Amino acid sequence: MSLDSFFSTLGTFLLWLTLGAVFLSALLFSLPRPHPFAKGCLYVGTLASLLASLLLEYLLLTDRFAFVYVAAHSSRATPFIYKMGALWGGQEGSLLLWLTLLLLFSALLARRVPREAAARRLWPRALAILSATGLFFALLLTVAAPPFALLPAAPADGMGLNRLLRDPAMLLHPVALYSGFVGLSIPYAFAMAGLWEGQMDASWIRLTRRASLLAWGALSLGILLGAHWAYHVLGWGGYWAFDPVENAALMPWLTATAYLHSSLIQEKRGQLQRWNVILVAATFFLTILGTFLTRSGIVTSVHSFAQSPIGAWFLTFMGIILAFSAALILWRWQDLKDRRPLKEMISKEGAFLLNNVVLLSLALTVLFGTLLPLISPFWGNPLSVGAPYFQTATAPLFALLFLLMGIGPLLAWQKADAAHLWNVLRLPLLASALLAGILFAAGIRIPGTVLGITFAFFAMAAVLADTYLQVRLRQESQGGAFLPTLLRLVWRHPRKYGGYLVHLAIGFIALGVVVSTAFQRTATVGLYPGDQVTVASYTFQFNGLYQQVTPHGLRSIARVDVTQGGKPVAILEPALFTSFDKAGREGPNAEIALRQSLIADLYVVFLGYDDTSGQAGFKIYVNPMVGWIWLGGLLLIAGALLALWPRAWEELATEKSRLLRSLLDLEEDLRTGKIGEADYRSLKESLEAELQKLGGLGAGEERLPL
């Protein structure tokens, strides 16, 4: 047996071992009394999957071109770092990464049995569901898409990794995206476990809160990295085109965002239980749908792989998910009824509910536009859906979302009245109206642009106004300088202010998107050496070509000098790169030149040149405020990490602790002017009466820390 045959046999054995182990794990965790061997089976499957991933990585790094996967996605000329990234650069490798991440997360959950009785009941059922999900991916890799298949004869060299994927962002983007997808399976598994066991309280939310936030943060990072890759690699001057595979990541992000909001209401108020189980089920389904759209080749996209036989497998699995989730939800529908019905829509709870309706509407709108080209041929002529549909259909919903993002933080819990609502809203509203007036006076009259900027600013202003008000109140009662008081406030309430920072970050992103879309300026020109063209207020002058030979290919570089008002701004060098490996033999790839700033990005694409005349073609973009998107992305990740910071008292999940937190929220709403004295007294009496029914305050329970 040759060494390649041995490696193929070993890799295949490891995948079959994974399949058998996760099958036993799912079966044993599903028993009325889970078998002690269940955890060991999960560990064996995890180890086997990890070893299979490491083996495939080794084959890529050592140029084992006898393997179909290695020959298709690597070459001798491929840089070492991108040989490593080739593990998830193709279909089989990316599915193996999905499986390995899922089993690693599951093994971490299995490592320690929860101490609380309620959590112990859910733990084995959740691991059974996670193992069953792993079983599906193991089946794919053993039967439908084996990564260790051999060629009849080994070629001297491979095709090389797709040139578009040879970018640092693509080393991290798939891993972040898959970590988000896989992480979102954890709240789904525990929610379904709660339905399975008939445990309808919020214990599954508390158990998975950090996992949900981590997964949401990873998915957010993956989307941002993908947008940045599309911006500086594809050479079209944009960062988001509502490509089907971009939508595949956006849809579960929207539903997961909705879930994170409504899960807070269930924890605090025991409300929106039905919403939460539906949202986590929808989110998990959409992660599998997104994987299907990317891996099956059913959609045309720069992100998707070639046509593949795994489409039928994914459709079957999605059908199983729908049937399983729907059956459990319908079975427990009456048990999921809220113990405390939502009585007042003009309240923080009501704003959260409306926020969820808008987010879900956005997800359904994007889903409809994504699937329409796939399903329309079944009843007539195929229909195509482009970016204009998504921009037109989602713009009003995003505007409403930002309006709610601004109003929600300033509303009182349980009940708000118009007079007190105006007290807290007037400053952000007046500031936003002033901004709209300034935009109008500056000659910006496009309604969508003015509203988009104004609403995004309003959401940011509301968060800042509420934070300022909280700090001032503590200064009045406790003294101290503004900044130390702010830091103490954030330290005591990291979850709340992490969420505020995320809202602020999304405002930055929205401003960057609206301004760069509305005010982008472009020019497509042919220039001889010494020629220049003016775009917006910048002058671009072409000053000749030179070539550079690298170990991996030939780079033809154009020099473009940029000035503004006669003053030098930048020297940009867009290039055309021709690779020495097979992946580059179809023609040169454009490498853009980009000068980034928070004011405007200067973006030049080298289209080609005429050897005879010396004329070169360029596509030039001036993109204002795109940098705000990436700045907002950094703030968003920081906010997610801050919200993860542990505070022991926030982890309390008893009915008494929820009532105590409600009393604290009520006191805060009164002090910040969000609720009147009469409503305060009425609501306080109601909460205290409920607390007395539970035995009142015990020793050490006089209050939770502010």
Q: What pLDDT is recorded for position 258? A: 95
Tokens of 649: 């008292």
What gap in Å lies between CA 221 and CA 172, rounded to an integer?
Answer: 9
Looking at the structure, do residues 618 and 674 belong to the same domain, yes or no? no
In a domain, 475, yes or no: yes
For residue 351, pLDDT over 80 is answered with yes
In a domain, 560, yes or no: yes
Q: What pLDDT is recorded for position 128? A: 96
Please report which confidence band the pLDDT of residue 48 belongs to, taking 50, 70 and 90 as the band edges: very high
Looking at the structure, do residues 383 and 484 belong to the same domain, yes or no? no
Q: What pLDDT is recorded for position 704? A: 47
Q: What pLDDT is recorded for position 306? A: 46
> Of residues 222 and 381, which shows the higher confidence score?
222
Looking at the structure, do residues 361 and 296 belong to the same domain, yes or no? yes
CATH number for position 44: 1.20.120
Closest to 266 in 3D by CA, of 334, 203, 196: 203
Q: What pLDDT is recorded for position 76? A: 87
In a domain, 701, yes or no: no
The predicted model scores a pTM of 0.90
Looking at the structure, do residues 687 and 606 belong to the same domain, yes or no? no
In a domain, 702, yes or no: no
Summary mean pLDDT of the chain: 87
Tokens of 196: 């399975």
Residue after which a domain boundary falls, among 396, 416, 450: 396
Q: Is 632 helix (H, G, I), strand (E, B) or coil?
A: helix
Looking at the structure, do residues 233 and 333 belong to the same domain, yes or no? yes
Residue after which a domain boundary falls, among 602, 628, 654: 628
Q: What pLDDT is recorded for position 13? A: 97
Backbone dihedral region for residue 198 (phi beyond 0: left; psi -120 to 50: alpha; all else: beta)? left
Question: What does the DSSP assignment read for 489-546?
Answer: HHHH-HHHHHHHHHHHHHHHHHHHHHHHHHH-EEEEEEE-TT-EEEETTEEEEEEEEE
Looking at the structure, do residues 176 and 315 belong to the same domain, yes or no? yes
- Residue carrying the six token digits 């298709």: 72
Q: What pLDDT is recorded for position 305? A: 46
Residues with Cβ within 8 Å of 420's Cβ and at least 6 positions away in sequence, in order, are: 412, 673, 674, 675, 676
H or E element, residue 585: none
Please report which confidence band the pLDDT of residue 49 belongs to, taking 50, 70 and 90 as the band edges: very high
What gap in Å lies between CA 361 and CA 151, rounded to an integer?
Answer: 48
Domain range for 480 is 399-518+629-693
Q: What pLDDT is recorded for position 627? A: 96
Q: What pLDDT is recorded for position 376? A: 77
Residue after which a domain boundary falls, among 362, 396, 430: 396
For residue 321, pLDDT over 60 is answered with yes
Count Cα atoms within 13 angstroms, Cβ side, for 639: 21
- Residue carrying the six token digits 């949202």: 279
Looking at the structure, do residues 6 and 140 belong to the same domain, yes or no? yes
Mean local confidence (pLDDT), 116-136: 88
Query: What is the CB neighbour count within 10 angstroms for residue 415?
Result: 24
- Most confident listed range (85-94, 412-421, 460-469, 566-575): 566-575
Looking at the structure, do residues 636 and 592 belong to the same domain, yes or no? no
Ranking 41-50, 95-104, 279-288, 486-495 by mean pLDDT, the lowest is: 486-495
Q: What pLDDT is recorded for position 300? A: 57
In a domain, 706, yes or no: no
Looking at the structure, do residues 607 and 546 belong to the same domain, yes or no? yes
> Of residues 685 and 524, which shows the higher confidence score?
524
C-alpha distances out from residue 260 to 180, 465, 502, 503, 566, Å: 14, 23, 12, 13, 51
- Most confident listed range (82-96, 472-486, 580-594, 687-701): 82-96
pLDDT tens for 210-264 read 899 999 999 999 999 999 999 999 899 999 999 888 999 999 999 999 999 988 8
Q: What pLDDT is recorded for position 646? A: 67
In a domain, 67, yes or no: yes
Ranking 194-198, 336-340, 434-438, 673-677 by mean pLDDT, the lowest is: 673-677
Looking at the structure, do residues 503 and 546 belong to the same domain, yes or no? no
For residue 44, pLDDT over 70 is answered with yes
pLDDT tens for 594-653 read 999 999 999 999 999 988 888 999 999 999 999 999 999 999 999 999 998 866 445 545
In a domain, 661, yes or no: yes
Q: What pLDDT is recorded for position 272? A: 84
Number of domains in the chain: 4
Q: What pLDDT is recorded for position 396? A: 93
Q: State the amino acid at position 540 in one-letter form.
A: F
In a domain, 607, yes or no: yes
For residue 584, pLDDT over 50 is answered with no
For residue 420, pLDDT over 70 is answered with no
Looking at the structure, do residues 23 and 100 belong to the same domain, yes or no? yes
Question: What does the DSSP assignment read for 83-105?
Answer: HHHGGGTSHHHHHHHHHHHHHHH
Closest to 247 in 3D by CA, of 391, 124, 149: 391
Please report which confidence band the pLDDT of residue 2 belongs to, taking 50, 70 and 90 as the band edges: confident
Q: What pLDDT is recorded for position 649? A: 46
Please report which confidence band the pLDDT of residue 322 belongs to, taking 50, 70 and 90 as the band edges: very high
Mean local confidence (pLDDT), 90-109: 94
Looking at the structure, do residues 528 and 505 belong to the same domain, yes or no? no
